[in-house]
Amino acid sequence: MIPTVKTIEQVLKKPEKLLTIREHDTIAQAAIMMDENQVGCLLVFDTNNKFTGVITERDIIAKVTSKSIPADNSRICDIMTADTIFCDRDTSIAKVEQLMAEHKIRHVPIVENGVPVGMISSRDIIAYRLLSNERMKTAAEQLAMLPMGLKSLDSDDVINLAINQVPKSFGATRAVLYIVRQDSDVPMVYRNACPASLEHLESIKMSFANQQVVCEKICRQCENAGGQSPKLVIGLNVIEQSEHNGENHLSEQGYLCMCGFNTHSADSEELQVYKASLLRAVLSANLTNANLYQNYKKAFKDSETDPLTKLGTRRMLDRVLKTECERNARYKNPFSVAIIDLDNFKPINDTQGHAAGDMILQMLADIIHKGIRAADTAARYGGDEFVLLMPETSLDEAMVLLERLRRQTENISYNGIKITISCGLTERTNSTDKSIEKLLKQADAALYQAKRSGRNRIVAQQCQSTVS
């Protein structure tokens, strides 16, 4: 049996250096500090060195992604947890575990006389308990290593891990995983060489109220079907972020069923229960993180994709241009930037309507998308203007590409309206100037010259800064 831990003092044998940050530092700085030190929580202080709260990796993942808060220039005080739950050295471990469960937190600062003196995490408590039983320690180490093989925060990777790797840790040969969304009674089924009798589980209405009841139903239905009943059913809670308000809620519930155990290597009931509890936490956490990360990727992609033309947005353009400017300053490789503008677009909108204007914009965007190379970046700059970024491309090479786009556009029409474009092109070489504004201003000046010269043409100007 695992001995009872009385106080936190028993866990904090060797207090580690506290990692702190200022509340007016950026979110990006907090994320970098967490990554470099492999921690999930930082203590936050104000300018007067007063402890004001904590910031956790969950704060960054959940709040930044849901509210589209820019991490580079937003402050920690915008997302931190200010009403911090804390304890002292004499607080019992049972009390700390209760606080973590009630408030759904994984880190609790240890405060004495208003000053943080340590940090206790759920991982710390688990690790301490493991010291009392070597077999449990070994089992926990094996289960903790399971997610290390994940190549990405992808739900499919976590699911494959559950059905292919987890059974080996329990001495089982077969597994089936059921993931049920709150708005559906039909589970998604993932299996690893499971007997046909387990197919009957799909008819079970998975209740979110009581996992134990569902587990009993799973075993009973398998037995009634004349098949091999799972020897172990582990319930999983998967948290997902709402698309509407960004709040986290229990949206999915899962059940991992294992059977085909090797009797000679079967764990004791106590150890199996213990391993199951750890596995529940490991898989639930990884599936939850995968869901949150998928939401983040979708939100980020949506923010960088123009909904009308499906090309990039100004936000995406600024990011890529910054990268290319820095690369140009470092390696001196040239790159070209062009601004493409529809000729006489305003009269088209005025006479044909905005629906016609939108259609023409989409037609031009399609020509650009199909006509550029894989390394190029195209974005809608605003209105009827598009920007084309061509890495490692000289002025002459860019002229060839743009001329092809100009001719393709010239050959199409809409409702009898001939469509043409004007282009302003600039090349950047041997520059240490990282100013994006200067580069775009140069291309815009070339575009203005193309318009004044009669439209439906390309004007190029080289932009070369003085090396400092």
C-alpha 172: how far from chain center = 33
Q: How many domains does the chain have?
A: 3
DSSP E strand stretches across 224-274: 232-241, 248-259
CATH number where 77 lies: 3.10.580.10
Would you call 201 helix, strand, or coil by DSSP? helix
- 295 or 340, greater pLDDT: 340
Phi, psi of 258 (to 5 degrees): -125, 140
Predicted confidence band of residue 420 (pLDDT cuts 50, 70, 90): very high
Buried b (16+ CB within 10 A) or exposed e, 351-363: eeeeeebebbbeb
As a whole number of angstroms, the distance between CA 130 and CA 5 comes to 11
User: Looking at the structure, do residues 333 and 279 belong to the same domain, yes or no?
Assistant: no
User: Looking at the structure, do residues 284 and 406 belong to the same domain, yes or no?
Assistant: no
Looking at residue 196, its pLDDT comes to 40
**What kind and span of H or E run contains 339?**
strand 335-342
pLDDT tens digit sequence for 447-459: 999 999 999 999 9
Average pLDDT over residues 117-134: 73
Looking at residue 199, its pLDDT comes to 46
As a whole number of angstroms, the distance between CA 22 and CA 50 comes to 10
Looking at residue 425, its pLDDT comes to 96
pTM: 0.44
Predicted confidence band of residue 468 (pLDDT cuts 50, 70, 90): very low
Q: End of a domain among 91, 107, 128?
A: 128
Identify whether 210 is part of a domain: yes
In this predicted structure, the answer to whether residue 366 has a pLDDT above a threshold of 80 is: yes
Q: End of a domain among 105, 128, 151?
A: 128
In this predicted structure, the answer to whether residue 369 has a pLDDT above a threshold of 90 is: yes
Q: Residue holding tokens 């004499």?
A: 90
Q: Supply the range of the domain harboring residue 250.
A: 134-303
What's the DSSP call for residue 26? B
Distance set, CA 409 to CA 58, 196, 405, 422, 456 (Å): 48, 59, 6, 10, 10
In this predicted structure, the answer to whether residue 202 has a pLDDT above a threshold of 70 is: no
Looking at residue 378, its pLDDT comes to 95
Cα torsion for 66, 67, 70, 76, to the nearest 10°? -100
As a whole number of angstroms, the distance between CA 443 and CA 387 comes to 9
Would you call 156 helix, strand, or coil by DSSP? helix
User: Looking at the structure, do residues 91 and 215 belong to the same domain, yes or no?
Assistant: no
pLDDT tens digit sequence for 11-55: 654 445 678 899 999 988 988 988 888 888 899 998 888 888 889
In this predicted structure, the answer to whether residue 205 has a pLDDT above a threshold of 60 is: no
Identify whether 308 is part of a domain: no
As a whole number of angstroms, the distance between CA 416 and CA 108 comes to 70
Identify whether 233 is part of a domain: yes
What is the chain's mean pLDDT, rounded? 77
User: Looking at the structure, do residues 184 and 325 belong to the same domain, yes or no?
Assistant: no
User: Looking at the structure, do residues 150 and 298 belong to the same domain, yes or no?
Assistant: yes
Q: End of a domain among 272, 303, 334?
A: 303
Cβ atoms of residues 177 and 254 within 8 Å: yes
Q: Residue holding tokens 């449990």?
A: 136
pLDDT tens digit sequence for 213-239: 665 666 665 555 545 566 677 777 776
CATH number where 178 lies: 3.30.450
Of 434, 467, 247, 408, whose CA–CA distance to 324 is shortest? Answer: 434
Neighbours of 190 (CB within 10 A): 19
User: Looking at the structure, do residues 364 and 388 belong to the same domain, yes or no?
Assistant: yes
User: Looking at the structure, do residues 282 and 158 belong to the same domain, yes or no?
Assistant: yes
Identify whether 468 is part of a domain: no
User: Looking at the structure, do residues 407 and 382 belong to the same domain, yes or no?
Assistant: yes
CATH number where 451 lies: 3.30.70.270
Looking at residue 457, its pLDDT comes to 95
**Burial classification of residue 451, based on how many CB atoms lie within 10 Å of its CB (0-12 exposed, 13-18 middle, 19 or more buried):** middle
Cα torsion for 247, 252, 253, 254, to the nearest 10°? -130
Helix extents (H) in 253-394: 269-303, 314-331, 345-352, 354-371
In this predicted structure, the answer to whether residue 411 has a pLDDT above a threshold of 70 is: yes
Would you call 271 helix, strand, or coil by DSSP? helix
User: Looking at the structure, do residues 290 and 144 belong to the same domain, yes or no?
Assistant: yes
User: Looking at the structure, do residues 190 and 338 belong to the same domain, yes or no?
Assistant: no
